[in-house]
Amino acid sequence: MFNLILFGPPGCGKGTQSDKLVEKYGLVHLSTGNLLRQEIKDKTPLGLEAKSFIDKGQLVPDEVVIGMVDSYFDQHKEAKGFLFDGFPRTVAQAKALDKLLELKKTEIGKVLILSVDEEELIKRLVLRGKTSGRSDDADENVQRNRQAVYKKETLPVADYYTKSKKVGTVDGMGDIEAIFERLSSQIDKKIKQ
């Protein structure tokens, strides 16, 4: 089983590249946002617990999120591997994920960080905001704040995985296909080891 974390700041192209990587490598796309919405929709015990936090405007605790990831793994026992998108967001979540994967007799194979110049990220997000009709996306100050939050809260996860020599940085600037080729090259090297 090959498990991949695709990592990077808002606007770096994770969603676009995730779809292409899932298709090429036959991975199961694991998006915690999608999982939360599905668990709530299905009214599972975890979904109801998550909803109670969301309804109060609180973040869903790590234990609940990890419980949903565990359940999702059990539903996809035959998977070739998973592509984690939007998770883990904190070092505590990364440690919990490692423990869960150890119980499942697997591990994170590679963490790939899409590196994009911050001014390019702001430009992409503001443009996306104008075309999506979401006024908050079109607000440059909101986008600068999102980048700051990413650096403060999520970037430490990359440092956590760097210690285990699993991290690769990929230039996320340029054309979608060129970026995809750079990502694929790193994944192919890891799979062949």
Q: Closest by alpha carbon to 7, among 181, 140, 150?
A: 150
Which residues in 22-34 are b (16+ Cβ under 10 Å) and which e?
beebebbbbbbee
28-31, strands of its sheet edge to edge? 28-31, 82-85, 3-7, 108-115, 167-171
Q: Active-site residues: which are they?
A: 14, 89, 128, 134, 146
Burial (CB count <10 Å: 0-12, 13-18, 19+), residue 145 = exposed
How distant is the alpha carbon of residue 59 from its chain centre? 17
List the structure tokens of 98. 């490692």
Query: What is the rounded distance in angstroms from the CA atom of residue 114 to the CA atom of residue 121?
Result: 11
